[in-house]
Structure 1
Amino acid sequence: MKPGSVPPFSELIKDCHRSAVHLEMRDMYGVASEADDFAEWQTHGHISAESIERRRPWLNLVREAAGRGVTMRRARIVSLPASAYIRYEHAGTYLNVEAGEQVRWLPRRDAATLALPGADLWLLDDRLIRFGHFSGDGASAGHELNEDKEVIKFCAAAFETVWERATPHERFEI
């Protein structure tokens, strides 16, 4: 599906019944919707009540999906020492976990021997991939859907290998 015709994630997750896994592999994202939260965190060093409110739609989406039995897992491959952005993500991940998402972290050094896809992705029910593309500065460059069974098989195996090697959020220190 062409990048401009990809439905919002909130629509895709509604058709998900079993699992939604997310593989993140960048050390910096410059997504416009997070700019205020990231700047606020850099200034104050914590996730503010206002930031939590701005995340409420995502957190509600996770709660709703988990409530209908969808297992949501996110694996992040990160460089250490961590970038400011990754420290910001780590500081707010407790909210994802409280909403029902399982999150694990894998130091990039421990991923060196893995065959990985070339872009971040969401894999929904082992039937549909939503690739996330980003510019060099981390800005969103659009999304792309893929239903190719071989691509899905490769991405699912890559995610599971990362997941097995990664450390649960509760035990991962930045």
Structure 2
Amino acid sequence: MTAMAPTRTETDLSFLLDRTSHVLRTRMAAALSEIGLTARMHCVLVHACEQERTQIQLAELGDMDKTTMVVTVDALEKAGYAVRRPSRTDRRARIIAVTEAGAEIARRSQAIVDGVHRDALRSIPDDEREILVRALNRLVTDHLADPVENPQPARRARERSK
């Protein structure tokens, strides 16, 4: 005897958001790779261009753990797009300063990111696009603004050492 699947009573919002987010990230990664950047590199550069920020502040803005942030900044330094330097206000803190080349690549990458977002939104009729964006903004500022503490947090895969 085969068990019957439960009847879904609501739209599978998790699937819709996960799927669109996944596909958008793959498109973003492909587009940014054409100029040698990752989405994380773009995120760090853009936020570091806005104002003087520490590695820790940039990691929080980009939702990156410490190890990922270090690897990302190492890649930016190697490419000549950023440098680490001591903070003017807290000598223990390290600031990520964007070089001229980094500022230029950040302008190019922002145009790419804007284009990927524009293309995705163009696939929706104008009147529905406004409603979708307004509804998503409401979700992220209201009901889904903050993650819930989980007694058994999801484990991240360990990165292999090279």
| The two structures share one fold, judged by TM-score above 0.5 | no
> For the superposition of Structure 1 and Structure 2, which TM-score range results when normalised by the shorter chain?
under 0.3
Give the TM-score normalised by structure 1: 0.25
Higher share in helix: 2
Higher share in strand: 1
Higher relative contact order (CA 8 A, sep 6+): 1
